Amino acid sequence: DGGITQSPKYLFRKEGQNVTLSCEQNLNHDAMYWYRQDPGQGLRLIYYSQIVNDFQKGDIAEGYSVSREKKESFPLTVTSAQKNPTAFYLCASSIDREPETQYFGPGTRLLVL
Amino acid sequence: QKEVEQDPGPLSVPEGAIVSLNCTYSNSAFQYFMWYRQYSRKGPELLMYTYSSGNKEDGRFTAQVDKSSKYISLFIRDSQPSDSATYLCAMSGNAGNNRKLIWGLGTSLAVNP
């Protein structure tokens, strides 16, 4: 089955801790995206990558970092600099020439202890 | 003013009703118009995709785009309890940074049996 997987489903972060959210896709998509979803705020783009070893900041990149070493994988690290990390994090992918049709993973809910 | 405006609801209808969901936008460069459906605690899934103006029908769902009024709609006929979800509109332009998706906040829909 082709699709996007995210892990873990729930993640707990302690103060001052960096945590990494996993995103893997086997759709052979070039482009991958990370969004944050908060109640009443809709989807906000954190980072996106159109090709391996290249990525761009989205609208709310501060306090986050990413890497794209493999086409299939786009992990997101929430650093200690992100002061309000509690949110639902969604990873998506698309064919690069069709960014409108994005396929989403099931999401990771990050909570602060 | 936000680029995309969407009433968050909630909208509650009886089973079998016709549902109308709407978004307005301000950027005349938008050419791609999408509706995504998101069930509670899941990732969004693409429901309908329209390029430029006009109507598109898929089963019980019809998407309409009126570029002159900068207004898009999603109609659901014979609504079912399984249609209960949040519906997100998204749109983008043709090239470069305009291809980035701009999202509405989502409308929460409950279809009551």
- Report phi then psi at B31, rounded to 5: -125, -25
- Cα A45–chain centre separation: 9
**What's the gap in Å between the CA of A82 and the closest CA on chain B?**
23
Q: How confident is the model at residue B93 (pLDDT cuts 50, 70, 90)?
A: confident
C-alpha B98/C-alpha B35 separation (Å) is 18
User: Across the interface, which of B42, B46, B104 has its CB nearest the CB of A42?
Assistant: B104
Chain-chain contact of B42 with A41 (C-beta, under 8 angstroms): no
Q: Which three-class secondary structure state does DSSP give residue A71?
A: coil
Give me the mean pLDDT over the A40-56 stretch. Answer: 93
Give the pLDDT confidence of B39-66 residue by residue, as tens digits: 999 999 999 989 888 899 999 999 999 9
**Quick one: pLDDT band at residue A1, thresholds 50, 70, 90?**
low
Cα separation, B8 vs A40, in Å, equals: 8
Task: Name the residue in chain A with its Cα closest to that of B50.
Answer: A100
| Contact residues on chain A for B43, CB-CB shorter than 8 A | 4, 90, 92, 104-107
- What are the backbone dihedrals phi and psi of residue B83, each rounded to the nearest 5 degrees, phi first? -80, -5
Q: Which chain B residues touch A105 with a CB distance below 8 Å?
A: 43
Which chain A positions have a beta carbon within 8 Å of B41's beta carbon?
Answer: 88, 107, 109
Question: What are the pLDDT digits (tens) for A55-107?
Answer: 999 999 999 999 999 999 999 999 999 989 999 999 999 987 777 789 999 99
Largest CA distance in chain B: 45
| Residue showing tokens 């900068």 | B70
